[in-house]
């Protein structure tokens, strides 16, 4: 049995439903000001419209590298079948944890994003109690997630790709226990985020692609020409008048 149905079954547990609901709220807030023509979600997590419903763009596309009926585009993550600089916002819902190469995928996201485009990443936290559960679980935790990414490492990668991180949020502060409903309703997220960070199950990171301003550079030949012309028109008072040069010479000749 492959990992995809296992993940779907985990999302049907009380903890999985709570986690997905928290992620929907965070993605909705992150996409409030992400306008433009194209929104791209890479990797299916939940239903096909779990997150695409919050896109503010004119079009939405769901891409996956695994055969799925819900995905509109099937493509390798190391060479996305997307035109360069054609996407306004990209969502990676736990995609970096499952994709064959997270580095290659991030480079492709950088390629397809337009200047000032936005990337939103959801990932489970490899630290705390959730990270401990992941270590002791033979199939990863949640099932199939064997490579959760450190928030600090992901931030460093995005900065190297010229992204400016504008929001980091931890969510789903609870014990990693699927069937205990009472523990799944732990204190408010804002309170737990401050006082119980060890219980943070996942994090959302939002970043914007940096715009590199273009500074016009004056050609070298033009600068040299301006300097020469300036030197020629500069008035000079040290040289004698041409009409006075021959008088001393004539006087020395007559004395001789």
Q: Domain residues for 226? A: 220-249
Is residue 9 over pLDDT 90?
A: no
Burial level of 251, CB count in 10 A (0-12/13-18/19+)? Answer: exposed
Cα atoms in the Cβ-side hemisphere of radius 13 Å centred on 129: 12
- Residue located via tokens 């004056």: 218
Q: Which element (helix H / strand E) includes 164?
A: strand 163-173
The pLDDT, as a whole number, for residue 198 is: 72
Give 80's strand partners: none
205, 229: one domain: no
* Residue 92, in any domain of the structure: yes
Residue 246 main-chain phi, psi, to 5 deg: -85, -20
Question: 118 and 68, same structural domain?
Answer: yes
Whether the full predicted model's pTM is greater than 0.85, yes or no, is no
Residue 215, domain member (yes or no): no
200, part of any domain: yes
CA 131 to chain centre: 24
Q: Where does the pLDDT of residue 230 fall: very low under 50, low under 70, confident under 90, or very high at 90 and above? A: very low
- Asked whether the beta carbons of 239 and 155 are under 8 A apart, the reply is no
Residue 255 lies in a domain: no
In sequence order, the 6+-apart residues with CB closer than 8 A to the CB of 96 are 102, 105, 106, 121, 123, 149, 154
Identify the H or E element spanning 33: none
**What b/e sequence results for 214-249 when a residue is b if at least 16 CB atoms lie within 10 Å of its CB, and e otherwise?**
eeeeeeeeeeeeeeeeeeeeeeeeeeeeeeeeeeee
Average pLDDT score over residue span 47-55: 96
Q: Are 156 and 239 in the same domain?
A: no
94 belongs to a structural domain = yes
201 pLDDT higher than 80: yes
Q: Is 60 exceeded by the pLDDT of residue 253?
A: no
Top pLDDT among 173 and 217 is at 173
The per-residue pLDDT for 46 is: 93
139-189 pLDDT, tens digit each: 888 888 877 889 999 999 999 999 999 999 999 888 888 765 554 445 566
183 and 234 part of one domain: no
Do both 64 and 174 map to the same domain?
yes
The CATH code of the domain that includes 99 is 3.40.50.150
Residue 214 covered by a domain: no
pLDDT beyond 70 at 1:
no
Q: How many domains does the chain have?
A: 2
For the chain, how many helices (H) and strands (E)? 9, 7
């Amino acid at each position: 049995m492959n990992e995809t149905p296992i993940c779907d079954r985990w999302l049907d547990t009380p903890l999985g439903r709570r986690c997905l609901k928290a992620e929907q709220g965070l993605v909705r807030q992150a996409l409030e000001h992400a306008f433009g023509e194209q929104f791209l979600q890479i990797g299916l997590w939940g239903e096909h419209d779990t997150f695409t419903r919050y896109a503010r763009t004119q079009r939405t596309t769901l891409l996956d590298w695994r055969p799925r009926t819900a995905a509109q585009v099937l493509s390798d993550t190391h060479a996305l079948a997307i035109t360069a600089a054609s996407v306004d916002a990209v969502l990676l819902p736990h995609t970096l944890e499952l994709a064959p190469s997270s580095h290659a995928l991030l480079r492709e996201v950088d390629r397809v994003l337009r200047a000032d485009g936005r990337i939103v990443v959801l990932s489970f936290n490899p630290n705390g109690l959730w990270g401990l559960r992941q270590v002791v679980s033979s199939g990863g935790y949640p099932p199939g997630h064997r490579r959760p990414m450190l928030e600090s490492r992901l931030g460093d990668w995005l900065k190297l790709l010229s992204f400016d991180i504008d929001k980091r949020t931890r969510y789903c502060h609870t014990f990693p226990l699927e069937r205990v409903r009472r523990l799944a309703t732990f204190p408010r997220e804002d309170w737990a985020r401050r006082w119980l960070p060890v219980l943070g199950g996942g994090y959302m990171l939002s970043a914007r692609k940096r715009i590199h301003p273009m500074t016009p550079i004056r050609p070298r030949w033009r600068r040299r020409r301006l300097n020469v012309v300036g030197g020629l028109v500069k008035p000079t008072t040290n040289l004698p008048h041409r009409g006075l040069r021959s008088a001393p010479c004539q006087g020395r000749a007559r004395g001789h």
